[in-house]
Amino acid sequence: MSSALASLPSYEEAAAIVSARAAELACVAQTERVGLHEAAGRILAVPIRTDHEMPPFARSTRDGYAVRAEDANRYEWMEVAGSTRTGDAPAPESLIKGTAWEIMTGAAVPPGADAVAMLEHVEAEADVIRLVSPRKLEVGENIVLAGAEARTGDEIVPAGTWMGAAQIGAAAACGYAELEVFCKPRVMILTTGDELVAVTEKPGPGQIRNSNAPMLTALVEQFGGHAVTMPAIGDSAEALDKALYVTAAADMVIFSGGISAGRFDLVEPALERLGAKFHFTGARIQPGKPVVFGEIPRGDVSQPVFGLPGNPISSTATFLLFAAPVLAALAGRRGSLPRWVLAHLERGVKGNPGLTRFVPAHCEAGGGVQSVETHGSGDIAAFARANCFLMVPESAKWLEAGEMVRTLQF
CA neighbor of 324 nearest in space, from 313, 337, 307, 309: 337
- Closest Cα partner for 116 from 71, 159, 83, 69? 69
Residue 372 confidence class, pLDDT cut points 50, 70, 90: very high
What pLDDT does residue 262 have? 57
Q: pLDDT digit string (tens) for 147-179?
A: 999 999 999 999 999 999 999 999 999 999 999
Q: How far apart are CA 258 and CA 310, in angstroms?
A: 7
Per-residue pLDDT band for 266 (boundaries 50, 70, 90) equals confident
Phi-psi region of 367 (alpha: psi -120 to 50; beta: other; left: phi over 0): left
Dihedral over alpha carbons 274, 280, 282, 285 (to 10 degrees): -140
Domain covering 3-28+184-330, topology: Molybdenum Cofactor Biosythetic Enzyme; Chain A (3.40.980)
Q: Concatenate the DSSP letters of all residues of 121-146 into one string.
A: GEEEETTEEEEPTT--PPTTTTEE-T
- Residue 370: is its pLDDT beyond 70? yes
Closest CA to 65 of 20, 30, 115, 117: 117
Rounded Cα distance between 104 and 116, Å, is: 10
The answer for residues whose C-beta is within 8 angstroms of residue 131's C-beta and 6 or more apart is 67, 72, 73, 75, 117, 121, 122, 137
Quick check: 308 and 314 in contact, CB under 8 A?
Answer: yes
Averaged pLDDT, 16-35: 89
Tell me the mean pLDDT in the region 333-357: 92
CATH number of 33-53+152-182: 3.90.105.10
> pLDDT grade, residue 273 (50/70/90)?
very high
DSSP letters, 27-50, are: GG--EEEEEGGG-TT-BBSS-EE-
Q: How far is CA 109 from CA 50, 102, 105, 151, 154, in A?
A: 22, 10, 10, 19, 24
What integer pLDDT is reported at residue 337 of this predicted model? 86
Distance separating alpha carbons of residues 377 and 313, to the nearest angstrom: 5
59-144: CATH architecture: Beta Complex (2.170)
Which residues have a Cβ under 8 Å from the Cβ of 144 and sit 6 or more positions away?
55, 58, 59, 61
User: What value does the mean pLDDT of the chain take?
Assistant: 93
Amino acid at 184: K
pLDDT of residue 245: 87
* Nearest-angstrom CA–CA distance, 287 and 11: 11
Domain boundaries along the sequence of the chain: 3-28+184-330, 33-53+152-182, 59-144, 340-409
The pLDDT assigned to 95 comes to 95
Which whole-number Å values give the CA distances from 191 to 90, 226, 256, 309, in the listed order? 64, 17, 5, 10
Whether domain 340-409 has CATH 3.30.70.60: the reply is no
* Cα distance between residue 157 and residue 76, in whole Å: 46
Sign of the four-CA dihedral 70, 71, 72, 75: positive
**Residue 92 pLDDT grade (very low, low, confident, very high; cuts 50, 70, 90):** confident
CB distance 133 to 127 below 8 Å: no
Asked which of 236-250, 278-292, 308-322, 349-363 is least confident by mean pLDDT, the reply is 236-250
Q: Residue 299's pLDDT is what?
A: 86
**pTM of the model as a whole:** 0.86
pLDDT of 12 strictly over 70: yes
Average pLDDT score over residue span 119-136: 95
Q: What is the pLDDT of residue 9?
A: 96
Residue 327: pLDDT over 90? yes
Query: What's the start-to-end Cα distance of the chain, in Å?
Result: 30
Residue 253: name the closest of 314, 185, 304 by CA.
Answer: 304
Residue 409 Cα distances to 30, 263, 340, angstroms: 28, 34, 6
Q: How far apart are CA 14 and CA 293, in angstroms?
A: 9
pLDDT tens digits along 213-264: 999 999 999 999 999 998 999 888 899 999 888 899 899 999 999 887 656 5
